């Protein structure tokens, strides 16, 4: 009669070995699943700690293989049992590694699913917006000059007031102020379009459309959450662009990735899910609501950057998270095997233009939000505004308008 209980002084490895040898000898007519139940009950106080049959069967089989190969013939029983114990430790390590990987995967799935849920809510909320009025067709007229309008860093949803040394207000911002500034901008852009006689205007959106939620401290200055901010911004910008197309043909591009547009959950590091951002939602809504507008074209570059050749001059647009724009021109020219004549960027909340070589220009756009805590920390303050420049055939970027908007 085989004793199926732990004997006095018998440890777990010895117990596994004894039952395994009895099974192989044919004197124990039990499956490994049944043996596993016996081992768990003998050595585990809580069924939450129970292991599956491979946790016992595999170490036994590995030890048996060494035993039959004669590896243990010169070993004492204690050393032999120690080898079996080491095999089991290795199995425990593998199980722990699997559990850790499973936890990491489940965490990823939770975060990813939550991002997808946010996107679904946004699409559903925007889906019921009314149709836009289709403007009168503006016939295309080939010209020897074209306009480029740079929009950057709207941070829609933010509310703030920046004070000066004597208690004066340096800048105040809210969703209502954003809309007022954008309508002021439209009026000034239309005046420039008419002054320059432009038939077509390239509008480049350099990112950070909404303020998003990168860190807990931002909760203090947000009126809306991510979903509501995206819905309201999407509605406004499509109406604004539609109004602009009543005066000029518009070619619109936007950078795919910018830090505030990412669907970054609290505590989630930057670029964890780089492709999950509200820019995708805004893009789809612009294409949907303006798809029937004969004066509007949405241009999408496969890199997620802005790129256009205007009258023979290559323009590249990035959000602007870099310290050395001159190096960016060199790097991208090398990467894409294409000369970059004009690099445009946002992010800094500060307007600047610089010639960095023969026929190479850098244009940093100001922000719609204007001075905020970020730009104050950088000591790079600038009036809220936008930049519009004109490219002329054989001359390149020739005229630049730095459009200031009311604080």
> Distance (Å, rounded) from C-alpha 297 to C-alpha 1?
87
Domain end marker among 126, 155, 171: 126
Distance of CA 129 to the CA centre of its chain: 26
**Helix (H) and strand (E) counts in the chain:** 9, 13
My answer on whether 316 and 173 are in the same domain is yes
Q: Give DSSP secondary structure letters for 316-336.
A: EEE----S-HHHHHHHHHHHH
* DSSP run (H or E) holding 48: none
My answer on whether 235 and 254 are in the same domain is yes
My answer on whether 174 and 209 are in the same domain is yes
pTM, full prediction = 0.66
My answer on whether 157 and 116 are in the same domain is no
Domain end marker among 95, 126, 157: 126
* DSSP run (H or E) holding 9: none
My answer on whether 281 and 367 are in the same domain is yes
Nearest to 389 by CA among 358, 353, 356, 339: 353
CB 54 within 8 A of CB 94: no
My answer on whether 210 and 353 are in the same domain is yes
> Distance (Å, rounded) from C-alpha 188 to C-alpha 192?
6
Residue 68: its pLDDT value, please? 80
Q: How far is CA 173 from CA 11, 154, 211, in A?
A: 72, 10, 12
> Is residue 260 over pLDDT 50?
no
Place of tokens 């020739």: 398
Residue 154 tokens read as 């709207």
Higher pLDDT, 221 or 342: 342
> Is residue 173 over pLDDT 80?
yes
CB 382 within 8 A of CB 364: no
* 3-class DSSP assignment, residue 300: coil
SS3 track for 63-86: HHHHHHCCCCCCCCHHHHHHHHHH
Domain end marker among 102, 126, 150: 126
My answer on whether 142 and 114 are in the same domain is no
Domain extent at residue 57: 1-126
Higher pLDDT, 16 or 274: 16
State the pLDDT confidence band at 271, using cuts at 50, 70 and 90. very low
My answer on whether 310 and 367 are in the same domain is yes
Instruction: Say how many C-beta atoms besides its own lie within 10 A of residue 357's C-beta.
Output: 11
CATH no. for residue 234? 3.60.21.10
pLDDT digits (tens, 9 = 90+) for 321-337: 777 878 888 888 889 89
Nearest to 365 by CA among 353, 375, 351: 351
My answer on whether 296 and 380 are in the same domain is yes
Residue 48: its pLDDT value, please? 77
> Is residue 27 over pLDDT 80?
yes
My answer on whether 153 and 282 are in the same domain is yes
pLDDT digits (tens, 9 = 90+) for 78-136: 665 666 666 667 766 666 665 665 565 555 445 445 555 555 555 555 556 778 899 99
My answer on whether 47 and 16 are in the same domain is yes
As for how many domains the chain has, the answer is 2
Question: Taking each helix axis from N to C terminus, what angle separates 54-68 and 32-43, rounded to the nearest 10 degrees?
Answer: 110
My answer on whether 197 and 274 are in the same domain is yes
């Amino acid at each position: 009669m085989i004793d199926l209980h732990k004997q006095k002084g018998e440890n777990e490895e010895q117990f596994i070995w004894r039952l395994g040898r009895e099974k192989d000898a044919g004197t124990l007519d039990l499956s490994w699943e049944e043996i596993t139940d016996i081992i768990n009950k003998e050595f585990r106080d809580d069924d939450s700690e129970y292991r599956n049959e491979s946790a016992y069967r595999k170490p036994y089989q590995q030890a048996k293989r060494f035993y039959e190969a004669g590896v243990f013939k010169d070993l004492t029983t204690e050393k032999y049992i120690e080898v079996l114990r080491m095999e089991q430790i290795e199995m425990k390590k593998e199980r722990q590694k699997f559990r850790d990987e499973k936890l990491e995967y489940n965490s990823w799935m939770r975060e990813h699913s939550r991002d997808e849920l946010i996107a679904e809510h946004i699409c559903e909320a925007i889906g019921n917006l009314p149709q836009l009025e289709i403007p009168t067709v503006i016939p295309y007229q080939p010209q020897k000059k074209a306009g480029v309008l740079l929009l950057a860093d709207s941070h829609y949803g933010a509310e703030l007031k920046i004070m000066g040394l004597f208690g004066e207000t340096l800048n105040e911002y809210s969703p209502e102020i954003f809309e007022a500034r954008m309508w002021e901008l439209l009026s000034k852009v239309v005046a420039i379009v008419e002054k320059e006689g432009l038939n077509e205007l390239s509008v480049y959106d350099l990112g950070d459309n909404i303020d998003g939620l990168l860190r807990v401290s931002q909760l203090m200055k947000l009126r809306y959450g991510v979903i509501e901010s995206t819905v309201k911004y999407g509605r406004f910008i499509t109406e604004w662009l539609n109004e602009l197309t009543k005066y000029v043909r518009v070619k619109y591009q936007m950078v795919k990735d910018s830090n505030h547009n990412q669907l970054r959950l609290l505590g989630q590091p930057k670029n964890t899910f780089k492709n999950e951002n509200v820019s995708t939602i805004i893009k789809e809504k612009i294409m949907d609501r303006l798809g029937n507008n004969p004066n509007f074209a949405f241009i999408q570059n496969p890199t997620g950057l802005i790129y256009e050749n205007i009258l023979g001059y290559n323009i590249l647009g990035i959000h602007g998270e870099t310290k050395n724009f001159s190096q960016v021109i060199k790097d991208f020219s090398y990467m894409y095997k294409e000369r970059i004549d004009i690099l445009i960027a946002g992010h800094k909340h500060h307007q600047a233009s610089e010639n960095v070589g023969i026929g190479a220009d850098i244009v940093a756009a100001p922000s719609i939000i204007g001075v905020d805590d970020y730009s104050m920390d950088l000591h790079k303050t600038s009036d809220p505004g936008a930049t519009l420049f004109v490219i002329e055939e054989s001359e390149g970027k020739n005229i630049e308008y730095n459009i200031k908007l009311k604080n």
